[in-house]
Structure 1
Amino acid sequence: MLKLRLLTWDVKDTLLRLRVPVGETYSAEAWACGVQVQAEALTQSFRQAYRAQSLHFPNYGSDRGLSSKQWWMDVVMETFRLSGVHGKEAVRPIAEKLYRDYSSAHNWELLPGARDTLQQCQRMGVPMAVISNFDQRLQEVLTRCGLRQHFDFVLTSEEVGFAKPDKRIFLEALRIAGVSPQLAAHVGDDYVNDYKAAREAGMHSFLYKSGCQPLKKGAEVPNAHILPSLMHLPSLIEKG
């Protein structure tokens, strides 16, 4: 078993996931405001808008003077524009409502085994924290989903100023916890941002890979480091 003094977690698609696809949520909110646009069109437009915004203003534009709220508002506005809705005044209240809604528990659900795994790790006495490429709303999301109490601290890329796979966000977590890398491990679902990045910071890491999803081409992960379910984790670790 691996002796640990710190266990860090990714959140999206590791502990929490969206209840319904983005396009469906955007479409439902638009229809409620009298704007008719299909979910399929919004899904495609969102991917395009999100990709472009992330390229031009990485990490929520934190080094360009943007707030994460403005960053997301721009993504939503562009998503609707690409879907054929050009009236900014009609879209703005939709964007405001969507920004608020994604802070609530309504749009998120726990992945199977997430709560039980966190509770078991906590009973084992392993200190835990979050390292996530999320914006400032994450504290509120975790609180409303009933998970915040499991973590000693939460680091978001917006707060720290650099995003995974930049190893500095992992090093900041180690600094806060006062723990050396070899006594820490990270759990996440992304090979580059979570598994590989944590290892490059000197930490142990586990890749959560549910179902029959194949590893990314070129990914090298020993079977012992792959979690087919979150409930596999407690048997692999112990308090350092």
Structure 2
Amino acid sequence: MRPRLLTWDVKDTLLRVRHTVGEQYSLEAKMHGIRVEAEALNRSFLAAIQTQAKLLPNYGLEQGMSSQQWWVETVKRTFRLCGVSDERVLSPLAENLYRGFSSAKNWEVFSDVKDTLIHCDRLGIHMAVISNFDRRLEQILVNCGLRQHFQFVLTSEDVGISKPDHRIFIKALGLAQVEPKQATHIGDDVWKDYLAARAVGMESYLICREKEQLTGTEGLVPKAHILDSLQQLNSFLK
């Protein structure tokens, strides 16, 4: 049955970063007269974001932070782990990186996305976004030429709840005024997308464009629910 509502994850489902975080951080650092290897920054970023997520989940909303403050501190923590501690450099560097990740130059739309969204539009399927992202996502989707396909964009910062918490899916269903069985969710994470959506009664599919992404899905996701391209979705929606 064709869904009345199709909801989408964004990062690594519709878009991916054009270069690694380390590469982009290293390039920005050079513009401030600092040389740090991209690989070192990639490692430090993973450590920094894990620490931030543990201490201040969902962008520190419960602690009264804004997502911008959260990201600026994450960038600073990343560079501190690489031995850069001069606040006079870290503050403008972090602010520039925060703004830079709103632009299309740092994001790449997967090649199978636009045709699929256009196909869904032609079928009259309403679409929306459910993402563990901050409020920059609206502008990112505009800059990447995708925003017009979605009725609304629901981020974990907007709602104060992040996937896999079922309440963010319930919120989306309420906004669209559809029942769970009338909705389908597409995402790249087994727990936060595929299983979380099914837990509230929605249909869902897991997008795995690379075989390595299948690791850990054994016994959790039937093969019929795994897409190696969004073009497969088109045949299900006829």
Give deviations 1:101-156, integer Å, cap 9, x for gaps. Answer: 00000100011201111111111110000000000100000000000000000000
Q: CA deviation at 1:36?
A: 1.4
User: Which residues in structure 2 correspond to 1:208-219 (within 5 Å)?
Assistant: 208-213=207-212, 214-216=214-216, 219=219
- Aligned to 1:3, the other structure's residue is in SS state coil
Say which structure, 1 or 2, has more relative contact order (CA 8 Å, 6+ apart): 1
Is residue 206–residue 226 contact of structure 2 (8 Å, CA) maintained in 1? yes
TM-score normalised by the chain length of structure 2: 0.97
Is residue 209–residue 228 contact of structure 1 (8 Å, CA) maintained in 2? yes
1:48 counterpart = 2:54? no
Is residue 205–residue 225 contact of structure 2 (8 Å, CA) maintained in 1? yes
Aligned to 2:223: 223
Q: CA deviation at 1:163?
A: 0.1
Aligned to 1:59: 58
- For 1:129 and 1:225, how far apart are their aligned partners in 2? 20
Aligned to 2:36: 37
Q: 1:219 to 1:162 in 2, by over 3 A?
A: farther
- Aligned to 2:171, the other structure's residue is in SS state helix
- For 2:21 and 2:219, how far apart are their aligned partners in 1? 28
Worse overlay, 183-192 or 207-216: 207-216
- Aligned to 2:209, the other structure's residue is in SS state coil
- Equivalent residues, number: 237
Specify the code of the residue in structure 2 equivalent to 1:171: I
**Taking every aligned residue pair, what percent have the same amino acid on both sides?**
54
- For 2:19 and 2:11, how far apart are their aligned partners in 1? 14
User: Which residues in structure 2 correspond to 1:97-136 (within 5 Å)?
Assistant: 97-136=96-135
- For 1:32 and 1:231, how far apart are their aligned partners in 2? 41
Q: CA deviation at 1:219?
A: 4.7
Is residue 190–residue 217 contact of structure 2 (8 Å, CA) maintained in 1? no
Is residue 112–residue 230 contact of structure 1 (8 Å, CA) maintained in 2? no
Aligned to 1:207: 206
Is residue 191–residue 219 contact of structure 1 (8 Å, CA) maintained in 2? no
- Aligned to 1:207, the other structure's residue is in SS state strand
- Is there any run of 5+ residues in structure 1 with no aligned partner, and where? none
- For 1:173 and 1:86, how far apart are their aligned partners in 2? 42
TM-score normalised by the chain length of structure 1: 0.97
Aligned to 1:159: 158
Specify the code of the residue in structure 2 equivalent to 1:97: N
Worse overlay, 110-119 or 8-17: 110-119
